Amino acid sequence: MHPEVLEKCRQARKASSFLAGASTTLKNKALEKIALSLEKNKKEIIKANKLDLEDLESQEHYSEAFRDRLQLNEERILGMTEGLRNIAALEDPVGEVTRMWKRPNGLEIGQVRVPIGVIAIIYEARPNVTIDAGGLAMKAGNAVILRGGTEALNSNRALIRLVRHSLASLDLPADCVALIEDTDRRAAMDLMRANQYLDLLIPRGGPALIDTVIANSTVPVIQTGAGNCHTYIDCSADLDKAIAITVNAKIQRPGVCNALETLLVHRDIAPRFLPGILPVLSKLGVEIRGCSVTASYFEDVIPASEQDWKTEYLDLILAVKVVENLDQAVEHINVYGTGHSEAIVTDSYEHSRSFLARVDAAAVYVNASTRFTDGFAFGLGAEMGISTQKLHARGPMGLEALTTLKYLIYGSGQIRE
């Protein structure tokens, strides 16, 4: 195994036992200490970040959005420290006994919530993830190994140096948090196969990163996937709600995974709904790609192709399809959706129940915008990402998703007959 990866995995494993037993008070102190350290050393952080930005700017091709995600400034550092303090304020999930029962032979069997152990996070050139994700993993009692995008190496080094220094000053093992500094692909590959040391690997980033991790990792992965989200306007929908929800889900923040991508409209409500909503969306800058029926209600519709039903635009583009009934809407969603967030707007009790039961997704809504799918809006107080797989955690992942359960069995000499 790659020597840096091996060394840091070993150290993290060791540190994780200590952190798993650390009190909530000590973990919160560490988060506060890190926040203070970032505040005190913000100039150093910004200086390191400048090196990353200069390296980027010396390259021929980069997008402004990429540069923006890479950049740190005082405001963004403040955002990180606020994030750490919010995490410190959250209830510690570790130690909760979720249930306990007694067997006929007198054995008492319970399940207690414990840290997962060592979590690796592979992410792109967004230095804030270093602090946000690292802080969350630590609060849940996990050691964490970070492998950030190459372009953010100087920034990440500066941040991790401060984090490790803060931990050590509280007599916590600095190795609770480590950064893989070798940006070579082989280092990442070896990290993905370090089953002996890692309990979980979370990729955070775009589809290419996530696909690479799924294809290569032998360590268990939580997939935080794409959101090809639908809203279905049922025949019985309240028109005002339907318009408000559609507009909000599409344009409030089009670049995120819980934004609306395909609007499905019952054919009976289409004549009343589409002539109203389509010009509104168009005026707001949304490009409409619709089926032929949709096009009959508004002139400015680009014909939708099969590809449109599959696409997560993350942009001011909306696919629109008129469907025969609820069944066809559910079928379309279960075929083309990515299992993220799906909504129905309806005043029918029966249709609301049927949609909730039959749509296969992490979050299924009645009469609300899909934009609410995140850890903060759900009240989890934090978010490590939104899982679109079905194992372990599904939907927004808060602190609890970063823990596991352990069986505790209290006996008085029981043996098996």
Assess 208 for contact with a copy of itself (CB under 8 A): no
252 binding a copy of itself? (CB under 8 A): yes
Question: Would you tell me the crossing angle of helices 42-57 and 24-40 to the nearest 10 degrees?
Answer: 70
Residue 39's identity, in one-letter code, is E
The region of 2-10, 69-77, 233-241, 320-328 touching a copy of itself under the rule CB under 8 A is: 233-241
CB of 16 to a copy of itself, least distance (A): 9
Size of the site for a copy of itself (CB under 8 A): 68
Buried b (16+ CB within 10 A) or exposed e, 213-229: beeebebebbbbbbbbb
Q: Does 99 bind a copy of itself (CB under 8 A)?
A: no
Structure tokens at 207: 């589809």
β-pairing verdict for 341-345 and 229-233: parallel
**What is the distance between the alpha carbons of residues 2 and 410, in angstroms, rounded to a whole number?**
43
Give the Cβ contact number of residue 143 at 10 Å.
32
Cβ atoms within 10 Å of 203's Cβ, excluding its own: 25
Of the pair 20, 36, the CB lying nearest a copy of itself is at: 20
Examine residue 96 and tell whether it contacts a copy of itself (CB under 8 A).
no
Q: Does 189 bind a copy of itself (CB under 8 A)?
A: no
In the bound state with a copy of itself, the residue whose beta carbon lies nearer, of 40 and 406, is 406
Closest to 263 measured CA to CA, from 161, 183, 370, 410 = 370
Stretch that binds a copy of itself, among 50-58, 177-185, 310-318, 357-365 (CB under 8 A): 357-365
23 vs 169 by CB, closer to a copy of itself: 23
H or E segment to which residue 303 belongs: strand 301-303
Between CA 168 and CA 191 the distance in angstroms is: 25
262 lies in the binding site for a copy of itself (CB under 8 A): no
* Binding residues vs a copy of itself (CB under 8 A): 17, 20-21, 101, 103, 107, 109, 114, 116-117, 195, 199-200, 214-215, 218, 220-223, 238, 240-241, 244-245, 247-249, 252, 334, 356-358, 360-369, 371-373, 377-379, 389-392, 394-395, 404-416
